[in-house]
Amino acid sequence: MTRLVKNAAGRMVPVEINGQAAVPYQGVGKYRPEGRKRGAPIRSSADYPADGDKIVANIKDALINAGLRDGMTISTHHHLRNGDHVANAVFAAAAELGVKNLRWFPSASFPCHAGMIDLMESGVIHHIEGSMNGPLGDYCTRGKMKGMAVLRSHGGRYQAIQDGDVKVDIAVIAAPTADPFGNATGDRGPTACGLLGFALADSEYADHVIAVTDNLVPFPCVPWQIQGNNVDQVVVMDSIGDASKIVSGTTQITKSPDRLLIAELTARFCDEAGIVQDGFSFQAGAGGTALSFALFLRDMMRERNIKARFVRGGSTQYLVDMLEEGLTDYILDGQTFDLEGVRSMRENPGHLDTSPFTSYNWHGKGNFASMLDAVVLGATEVDTHFNANVVTHSDGRLLHGIGGWQNCLASKCTILPIPSFRDRIPVVVDEVTTLCGPGELVDVIVTERGIAINPLRRDLLEKLRGSSLPLRTLTEIKSEVEDICGGPADKPHLGKKVVAAIKWVDGTVIDSVRQVGD
Amino acid sequence: MTRLVKNAAGRMVPVEINGQAAVPYQGVGKYRPEGRKRGAPIRSSADYPADGDKIVANIKDALINAGLRDGMTISTHHHLRNGDHVANAVFAAAAELGVKNLRWFPSASFPCHAGMIDLMESGVIHHIEGSMNGPLGDYCTRGKMKGMAVLRSHGGRYQAIQDGDVKVDIAVIAAPTADPFGNATGDRGPTACGLLGFALADSEYADHVIAVTDNLVPFPCVPWQIQGNNVDQVVVMDSIGDASKIVSGTTQITKSPDRLLIAELTARFCDEAGIVQDGFSFQAGAGGTALSFALFLRDMMRERNIKARFVRGGSTQYLVDMLEEGLTDYILDGQTFDLEGVRSMRENPGHLDTSPFTSYNWHGKGNFASMLDAVVLGATEVDTHFNANVVTHSDGRLLHGIGGWQNCLASKCTILPIPSFRDRIPVVVDEVTTLCGPGELVDVIVTERGIAINPLRRDLLEKLRGSSLPLRTLTEIKSEVEDICGGPADKPHLGKKVVAAIKWVDGTVIDSVRQVGD
């Protein structure tokens, strides 16, 4: 049985994860790392082809050349989201080669990777460390995975690789366009996905790096979002993914009157809080409410002739319109959410490629996230102390990844616009099922029943004094919602087994996820 | 007395340099490195301002904050060449702070840094490791420096930092434009120099990084050639350099009839060797002969409707013209040599910023240099075995740096167009004063008295059989030149003391430089 201790947030967390010691969460900004970043192996150009041609016949050969063996860690990335063909091809080849007990370290996994369940059953994959959207998360919460899952934010994944917490033996990077030297870009080619930032850490620190493309171009591939100087081998396959599934299904503005109200209240809050002014910055996700918020903000900016210095992507057509209309100098993009985002990244000099290193790495010399004037995020649950959950549902099932969510909490004003209940289950609860973000970093929660400002933000409370906005406490909102839903959310039926650890941005363990059922 | 051993090139080299063990040169591609790259210290964003503002009042404060103390290594870079103000300001501040025995680790030093001699005399600077153009090289060869100089190529400097051979305590990066977070670019601002690639390694691996700018812009500084995520502090000073001296004095095409002949012979050789064809690539320096060569080549390309895939800079107006005329898809630039180069880098998407990492690092997974179809370089001396010298004059004085010269020897065809004598001193000699490049990597030497092809390149000899070009042996050329000059060059009068070590691209010691006089 995994030994658990209570961390600084009062959560019970494992002190060892898959045989490796783990540090319990110590509080925001409290844990101070020591030592040096992990260095990748020193190589010699004498061992690489002088003409720069690193192409090998197929993934299987590449894995053999890379020295694949039992127990290794293989990383992949989710730039192609639910349309990815590469991760499945890599593990199918590994299965053919007869290796066992691999650790799969994806930046995120999607329903298209459900076939990995068979490979976990057959012992090819020991466990997954990375976001699991859908079936793999469900498999994990049913206690079926041999090892413990580890969920990290985008920045936390970079930190873990940089610091050597996770040693990647072989990184496989799906590249929409690449040259034979391994320079690669995501902004063009038949399977263009925009950018490849999630693979940056792996390309820099992994022992061996394989780029897989379906669009080979003569050297140099420009831009080189991934540098061929970090790549060992290049594989060309027919198709690295299904471009039509790269686009996230959620990139439509909401039509729900409640959600539209939440979006409008969020925009009005930003206005009254004095955030919307020339040279400001904001980040909003690609969910329906966040997109609607961005449109309300856009109208405000147009009307008052206000220009943002930068907006952060996940980019969509809405942000691209703002850039092309001159409402912002830059989009600093971490991930394009639709094909307009991809086009813009390719065409607009002001649409910039960022990475978890620039944007989110807590173990760096600062990062972009804390410079944002406002960030608008989602949550599956919040509690009356402003703590928030983004990975599990109220039934305890682990169905979502953390993404950049934890990292974004560092912004100057973190706002969670969320419905107060979903499917007649309250979203505002006494205690979140899984703690992903400490309440002290959540400044404002906007629901269709009112806006709650974190009491720690006296400055905001002061600024909004006398506002016509429906300012309320979370306790008030919670009690109103429970009246509607017929009481608080049922507690999930959880077993004793810890199936997943949730890391904080500094690599410490902020919470654990238990098996659902016995 | 430094113990010397004979290396694989037959040269006597020190086995210890400034108290650190050194590996003698083992032959081209023979030395295989082990271990891992050096990791920079792991930092926490908790220790950096959340609003991204890292500005401190002045260089002295920045050095104090960086923990400057006796014996540390401070690096600077030569993007501003002979117009640099920053390195002098840094060491003046260090002197004021009373520290001693610093190692100065510039990517190159110039006559504008001659004041460092006083700081070496007073003990503030112990010794210099880096290219010394002019007075500092002369000071060194007179045996005055306390420690031993170490000369490295651009790629070798990257390798030394990456591998941890040189541990940089404090890197100071002169930045023509920067934001308060430390993102920096060289392509704009009143002191624009083009790019900042020579500082890349330092920004990635140094313990502490300071950016110094005279053109502060709001976040984000775009492009971010140097990433603020690697920068600890930002200093704003009135002027980081004299923009008029950034331009190298040699970027004019030659008017000498002999040099023009050499340039033309070089272009004709490339033609007859089959190098000039659609999709080819070449690199030529910024000296008068190299520029004239590029113009001959350009005319050939225009005439035959040939387009290069890429040309490598040091860029000048001539390469920019080729790009803008559509004679090449890309300029892959390592260093702009004139203001047209700077403008083009800022304006042309096909004018790309490269670094010693992408272009030259031997301890990488290959690099760009070996993909070049032809490279045209200079030399101070060559011997009849095609060995070449690029750092010392025939009087033994160390007056030049290596630059990218050693790294470029990796190209598919390395051509040295050189006059057979200078100031009535033969340039073709029995044995070069200092060995910088092994003869096996030099394919062709072009002089005004004929073209010598390295006998190792049977393919080239075969291809040129029956050519109307004046093909001769180096021995023939040498003997003819000695007749003209009244005998071979006088041997320099050298002392016993080793004043400088010349590193090969893999960090081994290929030769040493002795004191001139006793």
Closest alpha carbon within chain B to A52: B371
pLDDT value of residue A250 = 62
Q: Which residues are CB-contacts of B483 (< 8 A; sequence separation ≥ 6)?
A: none
Question: What single-letter amino acid sits at B420?
Answer: S
- Percent of chain B surpassing pLDDT 90: 94
Q: Are A200 and A144 in contact (CB under 8 A)?
A: no
Helices (H), A70-210: 86-96, 116-121, 135-141, 154-162, 200-205
User: Which pTM does this prediction carry?
Assistant: 0.97
pLDDT tens-digit profile of A278-297? 999 999 987 889 999 999 99
Q: Same domain for A265 and A387? A: yes
Q: Same domain for B161 and B270? A: no
Q: Are residues B229 and A357, on separate chains, in Cβ contact within 8 Å?
A: yes
For residues A481-490, average pLDDT: 93
Q: Are B510 and B493 in contact (CB under 8 A)?
A: no
Q: Are B6 and B115 in contact (CB under 8 A)?
A: no
| Angle, CA of A28, A32 and A38, to the nearest 5° | 120
CA distances (Å), origin B11, targets A274, A394, B4, B501 = 71, 74, 9, 11
CA distance A197 to chain B (A): 15
pLDDT value of residue B1 = 67
> What's the token pair of residue A444?
């404002």
pLDDT tens-digit profile of B376-396? 999 999 999 999 999 999 899
The residues pairing with B415 across neighbouring beta strands, listed in sequence order, are B376, B444
pLDDT value of residue B243 = 81
Q: How far apart are CA B179 and CA B226, in angstroms?
A: 11
Average pLDDT, chain B: 96
Q: What is the pLDDT confidence band of residue B254, given thresholds at 50, 70 and 90? A: confident
Q: How far apart are CA A313 and CA A320, in angstroms?
A: 10
Q: How far apart are CA B334 and CA A295, in angstroms?
A: 43
Q: Same domain for A65 and A172? A: yes
Q: Same domain for B276 and B375? A: yes
Strand A414-417 to A421-422 pairing: unpaired
Q: Same domain for A296 and A427? A: yes
Question: What φ, ψ does residue A95 adopt, rounded to 5°?
Answer: -65, -45
pLDDT at B151 over 70: yes
Q: Is residue A506 part of a domain?
A: no
Q: How far apart are CA A149 and CA A500, in angstroms?
A: 4
Q: Are residues B364 and A45, on separate chains, in Cβ contact within 8 Å?
A: yes
pLDDT tens-digit profile of A209-252? 999 999 999 999 999 999 999 999 999 999 999 988 887 656 67
Which residues of B are less than 8 Å from A162 in CB distance?
A: 42
CA distance A452 to chain B (A): 24
Q: How far apart are CA A481 and CA A486, in angstroms?
A: 8
pLDDT value of residue A251 = 65
The end-to-end CA distance of chain A, in Å, is 15
Q: Is residue A330 part of a domain?
A: yes
pLDDT at B247 over 80: no
Q: Are B79 and B101 in contact (CB under 8 A)?
A: no
**B158–chain A Cβ distance below 8 A for any pair:** no
Q: Are residues B40 and A37, on separate chains, in Cβ contact within 8 Å?
A: yes
Q: Are residues B182 and A365, on separate chains, in Cβ contact within 8 Å?
A: yes
Closest alpha carbon within chain A to B221: A330
- CA dihedral sign, ordered B349, B350, B354, B358: positive
Which of A367, A366, A388 is CA-nearest to residue A377?
A388
CA distances (Å), origin A391, targets A48, A131, A156, A314, A478 = 43, 9, 15, 19, 21
pLDDT at A456 over 70: yes
**B454–chain A Cβ distance below 8 A for any pair:** no
Chain centre to alpha carbon of residue B372 = 17
Average pLDDT, chain A: 96
pLDDT value of residue B249 = 57
Strand A444-447 to A414-417 pairing: parallel
Which of the listed residues B245, B275, B306 is the one where a domain comes to its end?
Answer: B245
Q: Same domain for A210 and A268? A: no
Q: Which residues 159-178 of B are in CB contact (within 8 Å) with A? A: 162-164
Closest alpha carbon within chain B to A367: B229
Q: Same domain for B240 and B262? A: no
Query: Residue A100 has what DSSP assignment?
Result: -
Q: How far apart are CA B94 and CA B89, in angstroms?
A: 9
Q: Are residues B362 and A45, on separate chains, in Cβ contact within 8 Å?
A: yes
pLDDT tens-digit profile of B459-488? 999 999 999 999 999 999 999 999 999 999
**Which secondary structure element, helix H or strand E, spans residue A345, and what is its range?**
helix A339-347
pLDDT at B498 over 90: yes
Among the partner residues B218, B229, B279, nearest to A218 by beta-carbon distance: B279
Q: Are residues B366 and A229, on separate chains, in Cβ contact within 8 Å?
A: yes
Q: Are B510 and B503 in contact (CB under 8 A)?
A: yes
Q: Are residues B44 and A309, on separate chains, in Cβ contact within 8 Å?
A: no
Q: How far apart are CA A176 and CA A243, in angstroms?
A: 10
Q: Is residue A424 part of a domain?
A: yes
CA distance A41 to chain B (A): 4
pLDDT value of residue B344 = 97
For residues A303-323, average pLDDT: 95
For residues A122-135, average pLDDT: 95
pLDDT value of residue A246 = 81
pLDDT value of residue A465 = 95
Q: How far apart are CA A266 and CA A334, in angstroms?
A: 23
Q: Same domain for B104 and B230? A: yes
**A230–chain B Cβ distance below 8 A for any pair:** yes
For residues B132-161, average pLDDT: 96
Q: How far apart are CA A129 and CA A281, in angstroms?
A: 33
pLDDT at A143 over 60: yes
pLDDT at A77 over 80: yes
Q: Is residue B8 part of a domain?
A: no
pLDDT at B252 over 80: no
Q: Same domain for A230 and A262? A: no
pLDDT tens-digit profile of B66-76? 999 999 999 99
DSSP characters over A346-371: HH-TTEEE--HHHHT-TTSS--GGGG
Among the partner residues A41, A371, A412, nearest to B36 by beta-carbon distance: A41
Q: Is residue B501 part of a domain?
A: no
Q: Which residues are CB-contacts of A365 (< 8 A; sequence separation ≥ 6)?
A: B43, B45, B48, B54, B182, B209, B228, B229, B230, B231, B232
Which of the listed residues B186, B210, B245 is the one where a domain comes to its end?
Answer: B245
> What's the token pair of residue B23?
């590996």
Q: Are residues A35 and B42, on separate chains, in Cβ contact within 8 Å?
A: yes
Q: Are residues A42 and B162, on separate chains, in Cβ contact within 8 Å?
A: yes
pLDDT tens-digit profile of A251-262? 677 889 999 999
CA distance B487 to chain A (A): 41
- Report CA Rg, chain B: 23
pLDDT at B331 over 80: yes
Which residues of B are less than 8 Å from A330 in CB distance?
A: 220, 222
pLDDT value of residue B250 = 62
Compute the count of residue pairs across chains A and B with CB atoms less than 8 Å apart.
192
Q: Same domain for A400 and A488? A: yes
Question: What φ, ψ does residue A494 adopt, rounded to 5°?
Answer: -110, 145
Residue ranges making up the domain that contains A89 = 54-129+166-245
Residues B200/B201/B204/B208 CA torsion (nearest 10 deg)? -100
Among the partner residues A51, A209, A370, nearest to B52 by beta-carbon distance: A370
Q: What is the pLDDT confidence band of residue A422, given thresholds at 50, 70 and 90? A: very high
Closest alpha carbon within chain A to B227: A358
Q: Is residue B71 part of a domain?
A: yes
> What's the token pair of residue A213?
């493309």
- Percent of chain A surpassing pLDDT 90: 94
For residues B210-231, average pLDDT: 98
pLDDT value of residue B307 = 98
Burial (CB count <10 Å: 0-12, 13-18, 19+), residue A422: middle
Q: Which residues are CB-contacts of B492 (< 8 A; sequence separation ≥ 6)?
A: B394, B395, B396, B433, B516
Q: Are residues B222 and A43, on separate chains, in Cβ contact within 8 Å?
A: no
**B181–chain A Cβ distance below 8 A for any pair:** yes
Q: Is residue A298 part of a domain?
A: yes
Q: Are A290 and A381 in contact (CB under 8 A)?
A: no
**A54–chain B Cβ distance below 8 A for any pair:** yes
Q: Are residues A366 and B45, on separate chains, in Cβ contact within 8 Å?
A: yes
Q: Same domain for B241 and B261? A: no
**What's B349's domain CATH number?**
3.40.1080.10
Which of A30, A31, A34, A44 is the best substitution to test chain B (most B C-beta atoms within 10 A)? Answer: A44
pLDDT value of residue A489 = 87
pLDDT value of residue A391 = 96
Among the partner residues B231, B309, B330, nearest to A365 by beta-carbon distance: B231
Q: How far apart are CA B339 and CA B323, in angstroms?
A: 15
Query: Residue B503 has what DSSP assignment?
Result: E
Q: Is residue B23 part of a domain?
A: no
Which of the listed residues A199, A220, A245 is the one where a domain comes to its end?
Answer: A245
Q: Are A76 and A112 in contact (CB under 8 A)?
A: no
For residues B495-518, average pLDDT: 95
Which of B107, B219, B93, B92 is CA-nearest to residue B158?
B107
For residues A97-102, average pLDDT: 98
What number of helices (H) and strands (E) belong to chain A?
14, 31
Q: Same domain for B311 and B369? A: yes
Q: How many separate domains does chain A show?
A: 2
pLDDT at A123 over 70: yes
